[in-house]
Amino acid sequence: MSKLLLVDGNALMHRAYHAIPPFRTSKEIPTNVLYGFLSILYKSIVDFQPTHVTVCFDTPVQTFRNKLLESYQAQRPKVDDDFITQIPFVKRALDAAHIFHIEKDGFEADDVIGTITHHYKNNGITVFILSGDKDIMQLVEEKVFIVTPQIGFSKTHIYSPRDVKEKLGVSPHQIPDYKALAGDPSDNYIGAKGIGPKTAAKLLAQFETVDNLLSKLETLPEGKVKTILKEHVEDVELAHQLATIITDVPLEFDIKGAEFVWFNDELKAYLTGFEMSSIIKRIFERKQGEVPQEKKPKVIKEKSQLSLF
């Protein structure tokens, strides 16, 4: 069976930066992002044995979402220099490992992941998306799963459509509608300000989509919810656009170029330059195709898995 592992590169790098101590080489080169990123990636490859691997990145260029809303993600703190320094390290490590990576100006990594997933999910390929972003859960389907590692990288939760519904109270395809109503402080848009997650899920259980809800506003009983929705129609429509992952980004991607065999000596030599003896030992002591004794990734309880992303 063909298995495609799609990696949200920026999400993993950020998690590594905040979860791993500020490792440095003897020459004071920061390495915690590179170390953490490869640790999570290696663990996922061992667990899921993908036949194809692709890492998707954001770019510094503003996306179409910034054009829709100037303040989109504007509240996020400035990225530290130590983090920025290590982005090329990660990409060069992927090149050394012959792991394909891709990005597209004007779009987020989520959109690149969404486009690749949409194209290949019905081609006999099972897709595993390594990310902790709630937005990306909208892509989950019968053969598309979200993989979220726990801090420490030793345990994993796999989200199926049922898991998403249990976590958020809505089905995966309803997540843009859910966020259109409840908003998203992390991305800096309000949706229908005053409508919380529980009310949003309740409304979608009744009306299925935001479009259907807004078209039937007059059927709602008089009260706070109806008043809020009437006042925030434009905000809800904008939030829906911001929350929806694009699945038709123009990409130059051929899955044959994403075939993955195993880690190689070129990567080993690259990591040696960063004095990463522990991760070199971990990666290269295992032979190609060798499965760990515990064949299935550990599934953790919901509360503890929030610690990764």
Least confident of 39-43, 172-176, 184-188, 222-226: 184-188
Residues of the chain with CATH 1.10.150.20: 168-243
Please state the rounded mean pLDDT for residues 237-258: 93
Mean pLDDT (the chain) is 87
Residue 80 has pLDDT above 60, yes or no: yes
And the tokens for 26? 């003897």
Phi, psi of 243, rounded to the nearest 5 degrees: -85, -15
pLDDT of residue 20: 86
Higher pLDDT, 283 or 91: 91
Residue 131 has pLDDT above 70, yes or no: yes
Residues of the chain with CATH 3.40.50.1010: 2-165+246-305
Q: Which CATH superfamily is domain 2-165+246-305 in?
A: 5'-nuclease (3.40.50.1010)
Residue 301 has pLDDT above 80, yes or no: no
- pLDDT band of residue 74 (cuts 50, 70, 90) is confident
Q: Which CATH superfamily is domain 168-243 in?
A: 5' to 3' exonuclease, C-terminal subdomain (1.10.150.20)
Q: What is the pTM assigned to this prediction?
A: 0.88
Helices (H), the chain: 9-19, 32-48, 64-68, 81-96, 109-120, 161-168, 175-182, 197-207, 210-215, 224-231, 233-243, 265-272, 277-284, 302-305
Higher pLDDT, 90 or 119: 90
Q: Over pLDDT 90: what percentage of the chain?
A: 61
